[in-house]
Structure 1
Amino acid sequence: MNRLLRRAGVLLLPATVAVLAACSGSDQGAAGQSTIDARWTAYERPVEYPGSVTLPAEPITMRDGVRLATAVRLPAGEDGEPAAGPFPVLVTLTGYNRGIPAIPAFNNYLVERGYAHVSVDVRGTGSSEGAWEAFSETEQADYYEVLDWAASQPWSNGRIGTWGASFMGITQLLAAAQQHPAHEAAFAIVPMGDGYRDIVFSGGQTNIGFIPLWMGLVTALSVVPTVDTLQNPALYISSALQNLTAAITTFQVPIIAQAVLGGDIAYDGPFWRTRSPIEVADDVRVPTFIVGGLKDIFQRGEPMLYEAIRRNNEAKLLIGPWEHVGGSFGAGLEDAGLPSMDQMALQWFDRHLRDMRSGTEAQPTVTQYYWGREDWSVAADWPHPAARAERWYLQPGGELAPEAPAEAGVDRTLQIPVNGLCSSSASQWTAGILGIVAPPCAADNRLNEIIELTYTTPPMEADYAVNGPIQADLWVSSSAPDTGVNVRLTLVDEQGRSRELTHGLLNASMRAVDPERSRYLDGEMIQPWHLFTREARDVPGIGNVVPVNVEIFPSSFVIPEGHRLRVAIGPGDFPHGLPPVADLIDQLLGVISIHAGPDRPSSVVLPVVPADAVVPAR
């Protein structure tokens, strides 16, 4: 039934996912074993082979004659010669030119422990021919052919796992949904779930911080010569010409132009659903390990992917205190007393590709870092099974309280769409680049709050823990026709520093919600499903008060005793979001008003868990 709904263009409801998970027993792991008390234990085995060797580059020819640049790395003996196989095979499908050493397309740690590793540039990238169209149907059809090829090679034993981060995590999930018979495990590091909502048009605004940077990176890396270029210069010249021509005429440049100008690409539809792994996650039938980050560019989609995949097979979720680059490597895991990401991957593949009793089924199902406690915790599932909905109300003048305000009031601030440069969000949505040049802003939101409206709780009387998606329900008006609404949650310490925890962004004109696709907790909507279609767009108009449900991306944090929780509201989150040109004109030179009172109870609803349910990971 789920597959039929998706083929009709309907996304599986998050609320349905939660209900099914509850029916299956929220304290049970995929193998039926309770994991509520599980702790991480070390897993390691010695190197089997003293080295590795990369075979001469050999392109794979697709059904339409396009050649994909491919490299194979095998375990090697002390003489540097390939060891006798066959081996289980890891496949990495990348858009970042597998010949560039700075962007890992091979994992020597795993190769030296008995795995062959195949790395392939997807069509239109690296040294592969064709036109790149970012996870298009044509590209996805290539994935199946690549797995066919890898399973049939003499050094392959026909058992395939997939591995890689970011682009290479996304391709894994899209490939897994095709259910190739040789594909038996996936280890997807910082993958995207929903192309539209997670990253490109969060809240209906164009992500100008990351998307042009990313498309430019893929394009630039496609013309960089590598060591194996000398082995096949004709393929390099052919692919470079095709890649550049396609970038200028058919995809990268036209897509960015449409996004900025507000063309059809700026609205949700088949283009985005085709490229979103969450749309086909219900078809994934291989054991899947998902790695995410609390400040990752795919912060929203990573736990939702785990949630969808786990309904049908074994899945695990690891979410760290990472932006995109740190999450790609699992930075700091060993310093925290946890296994490294390579060790986790080895344990996963040893069990699922080599049938070893590696013990991965006894490891925690969900492992998350908690801001505020600055430590790792484990749970039986995501969202946390013990979560309960709790609502806090904005009080006129700046207080945040559990009771609705007795009297009405309005707070106002200037409508500046480029607000947000001095925030941790600016670092997050440029994959850490702006965090390098503006570290004080990443640690303290107070400069950014000068033009934001803030609502703060009294000091907490005990530790206050939150885990899962969050929603702000606001009554908003503007002196301009439209406005952006950005909501940040921050932790205010005893010295007054305001540290951003998570946030959400929404154009008021894109506020239409499908209640059937939204997520609920204890009867409260806690994760709205916005339509983001041209037909649903509804400009509020000057002075009109409208209800706006802002999706705040899921997080895990503790407000320690004596500290305070703050909601900071502003009109924008630049460069994460900038309205398309037509919408931007509607939002300039205005004043945004947040209404609070008995008839307009602006509030935020949180998934609160008992503090003692935040179980240490080790």
Structure 2
Amino acid sequence: MRRSLLALLLALLTGLAGLTAADAAPTSGWTARAEDHPGSVTETDVEVPMSDGTVLRADVRRPADSEGNPVEGRFPVLLTITAYNKSAIDGPGAAAIGSDPGFFVKRGYVHVTVDARGTGSSGGDWQAFSARENTDSGEIVNWAASPERPWSNGSVGMHGASYMGISQLFAAGNRPPGLKAIFPQVPAVDTYRDVVASGGALDVGFIPLWLGLVTGTGLIPPAYGPAEPDNALQMYLDRVQGATSFTAPTLLEATLGLNAAFDGPFYAERSPASVLDRIDVPTFLVGGEYDLFQRGTPMVFDNLQQRGVPVKMIFGPWDHLQGSGDGVAEAGYGTLQDLQLRWFDHHVRGQADPSLDTDIPPLTYHEIGSGQWFEADQWIGEQRARRFQLSGTSMPGLPGGLVDSDPRPGRSTVAPLPISGLCTRSTNQWTAGTPNAIGIAQLCHDNRWNDLSGAVFETGPMSEAMRMRGPINAHLHASTPTGNGMLSVSVSSVAPDGTVDRLTGGWQVLSHRSLDESRSRYLDGELIQPFHPFTEDAQRTMEPGEVEPVDVEVFPTAAVIPPGHKLRISVQAFDVPHLLPTVRDLPAALSPVAIHNSPEHPSEITLPVIPATEGNR
């Protein structure tokens, strides 16, 4: 009963139903090797002591013979650290780490799954990627690699999605000597900008669900037997304390617009960006174009590659749940498990694989709009910045223009409609793909109806395909009678029949418009990825009615506007149920925002466009 409850709760976040894609044949002659052992055997709730005296708990799955006895000997270790209660990993919960641990164990690995501090059966208080938890991740690797483990040969790899992917980055940042390679799926780089408060507004779609899931699984009594009633009671009391000392206060602070609503040390401590420069192990990343961490995963790839770390990334047409499953097969390199096995066999097991780098390029990505897969050496490399200027005035049903030159002046009003975003791809994305998992997301794939709730600007039909890859900047001149509000920008492709395919989006609270040019990204001298401090000190309310420039970071994508289609941007004042203003900002957000475009106040969008010479596979 207990495990059934765990699996049900975990399914809400990890989409256990319907995630496995049809197997895709690899593009090379490589095939996964056969099993070495007929079975596996698991020892549950093994003690993993931390340096501060806290005891974490692990399930250790080892190769077994045909009679179910553990095979003697030392093996390489694959490790997952989860906050979603390791007990759910048995059975259908295996999809939470994107693969069945038994697949690897039967091929000569020991698989270890550890409950993060304060979750599942582990001791301590959960503080979501606190400095202590991130120290734990390195100590867990050291524990698994230690010669004191009679089943370990000292060589460790890590895998898993989302929370488990982020834990890998923190573990690698500790540089434990036994860690040889990692395989993070859909990890973040900057928890504040990626998901908690995109553009400075609060994520109310995913974050409460996620915090509730971790807290809820923790409140289920741990699996200790009758011999440990005191431990079981203490675990339960720790979970209750964690819910009241971390989860509830954090949500309340953010909602009221207090400390947790602003970027600062709290989020820096919990962001892999703080340790990226210390990661030096081979890393294979999986990201999604509709994922929660659509922004962050490519930034991890960029950082590691620029520092010379062996790194690869597959960036596919997936939301968070799909990127956590076996949709990777669509890229053409075999199933996710096959790809992980190949990575770990080479980097953890030490098996020669001379064709690995020629078979799999640094970057493989899907192109929205064509469905084609492309290969590239870099995330940002051959692209060129292309600007389109807003032209004229957007009226309901009558879009303004997007032009290369000679824009017409205009002033467009964006009404504060708290239903904007409700039936769009954004809803599916920022509820982690739950609508897609239950089969209703397709009802909201056409963005044309949502676009009626804001200002719309579009080009004429394209005479030739325009391809793009990377982040986008919308530079908009805005004014508002209250001095604050939010801009929600969607970038879309409009088909000849009027269907609007939302490619990506970005958000910006007006009072958080301060720009840190030193941390922003430029292409050909043009801003394509603005960096806003989002601190309380940097917040600047606009003078009512005064026109100010606002740079909106539109999250990266890989897409094409085909011939005959139009490029469109639409601007709304809300993106529900994704984002809401804090209680402090809500009154000011309930007023219209004006978008200006004139010689004195030009508004434009800058795209990283790929030259026409690049080909697909």
Q: In structure 2, how many angstroms separate the alpha carbons of the residues matched to 1:478 and 1:40?
A: 57
The one-letter code matched in structure 1 to 2:201 is Q
Alignment of 1:89-488 (within 5 A): 89-100=77-88, 101=90, 102-104=92-94, 107-152=101-146, 153-225=149-221, 232-248=228-244, 250-310=245-305, 311-331=307-327, 333-334=328-329, 337-358=332-353, 359-362=355-358, 363-383=360-380, 385-397=381-393, 398-435=399-436, 436=438, 438-488=440-490
Shift of 1:271: 0.8
Structure 1 residues 255, 172: CA separation in 2 closer, same or farther (over 3 Å shift)?
Answer: same
1:468–1:556: 8 Å Cα contact kept in structure 2? yes
The one-letter code matched in structure 1 to 2:136 is D
Q: What corresponds to 1:581 in structure 2?
A: 583
1:368–1:377: 8 Å Cα contact kept in structure 2? yes
Q: In structure 1, how many angstroms separate the alpha carbons of the residues matched to 2:516 and 2:29?
A: 43
The one-letter code matched in structure 2 to 1:290 is L
The CA deviation string for residues 545-597 of structure 1, in whole angstroms up to 9 with x for no partner, is 11000000000001111111110111121222111111111111x12111112
Structure 1 residue corresponding to 2:510, chosen from 508, 526, 533: 508
Structure 1 residues 40, 133: CA separation in 2 closer, same or farther (over 3 Å shift)?
Answer: farther
Q: What corresponds to 1:603 in structure 2?
A: 604
The CA deviation string for residues 51-91 of structure 1, in whole angstroms up to 9 with x for no partner, is 21102431222223221111100111111111222100011
1:99–1:226: 8 Å Cα contact kept in structure 2? no
Q: In structure 2, how many angstroms separate the alpha carbons of the residues matched to 1:208 and 1:437?
A: 22
Q: What corresponds to 1:61 in structure 2?
A: 49
Shift of 1:130: 0.9
The one-letter code matched in structure 2 to 1:575 is P
Shift of 1:416: 2.4
Q: CA RMSD of the aligned region, Å?
A: 1.8
Runs of 4+ in 1 over 6 A off after TM superposition: none
Q: In structure 1, how many angstroms separate the alpha carbons of the residues matched to 2:29 and 2:545?
A: 58
Alignment of 1:521-600 (within 5 A): 521-588=523-590, 590-600=591-601
Structure 1 residues 232, 116: CA separation in 2 closer, same or farther (over 3 Å shift)?
Answer: farther
Moved more, 211-220 or 223-232: 223-232
Shift of 1:39: 6.1
Q: What corresponds to 2:13 in structure 1?
A: none
Structure 1 residues 419, 73: CA separation in 2 closer, same or farther (over 3 Å shift)?
Answer: same
Q: In structure 2, how many angstroms separate the alpha carbons of the residues matched to 1:610 and 1:39?
A: 25
Q: In structure 2, how many angstroms separate the alpha carbons of the residues matched to 1:149 and 1:610?
A: 49
Gapped regions of structure 2 (runs ≥ 5): 1-25, 394-398
Q: In structure 2, how many angstroms separate the alpha carbons of the residues matched to 1:120 and 1:230?
A: 22
- Three-state SS of the structure 2 residue aligned to 1:124 is coil
The one-letter code matched in structure 1 to 2:207 is I
The one-letter code matched in structure 2 to 1:345 is Q
The one-letter code matched in structure 2 to 1:353 is V
Structure 1 residues 87, 432: CA separation in 2 closer, same or farther (over 3 Å shift)?
Answer: same
2:461–2:566: 8 Å Cα contact kept in structure 1? yes
- Three-state SS of the structure 1 residue aligned to 2:467 is strand
Moved more, 447-456 or 170-179: 447-456
Q: What corresponds to 1:491 in structure 2?
A: 493
Structure 1 residues 230, 491: CA separation in 2 closer, same or farther (over 3 Å shift)?
Answer: farther
2:224–2:232: 8 Å Cα contact kept in structure 1? no
Structure 1 residues 243, 543: CA separation in 2 closer, same or farther (over 3 Å shift)?
Answer: same
Q: In structure 2, how many angstroms separate the alpha carbons of the residues matched to 1:549 and 1:54?
A: 53
Moved more, 101-110 or 60-69: 101-110
Shift of 1:338: 3.4
Q: What corresponds to 2:14 in structure 1?
A: none
Work out the number of aligned pairs and report it.
575
Structure 1 residues 406, 181: CA separation in 2 closer, same or farther (over 3 Å shift)?
Answer: closer
Q: In structure 2, how many angstroms separate the alpha carbons of the residues matched to 1:144 and 1:449?
A: 47
Shift of 1:233: 4.9
Shift of 1:403: 2.7
Q: In structure 1, how many angstroms separate the alpha carbons of the residues matched to 2:402 and 2:377?
A: 31
1:127–1:235: 8 Å Cα contact kept in structure 2? no
Q: In structure 1, how many angstroms separate the alpha carbons of the residues matched to 2:537 and 2:64?
A: 59
Moved more, 236-245 or 437-446: 437-446
Q: In structure 2, how many angstroms separate the alpha carbons of the residues matched to 1:80 and 1:407?
A: 76
Structure 1 residues 597, 74: CA separation in 2 closer, same or farther (over 3 Å shift)?
Answer: same
The one-letter code matched in structure 1 to 2:141 is L
Q: In structure 1, how many angstroms separate the alpha carbons of the residues matched to 2:103 and 2:38?
A: 11
Structure 1 residues 216, 614: CA separation in 2 closer, same or farther (over 3 Å shift)?
Answer: farther
The CA deviation string for residues 435-466 of structure 1, in whole angstroms up to 9 with x for no partner, is 44753453101121111211111111111100
- Three-state SS of the structure 1 residue aligned to 2:160 is strand
Q: What corresponds to 2:22 in structure 1?
A: none
Gapped regions of structure 1 (runs ≥ 5): 1-37
Q: In structure 2, how many angstroms separate the alpha carbons of the residues matched to 1:603 and 1:457?
A: 12
Q: In structure 1, how many angstroms separate the alpha carbons of the residues matched to 2:532 and 2:573?
A: 18
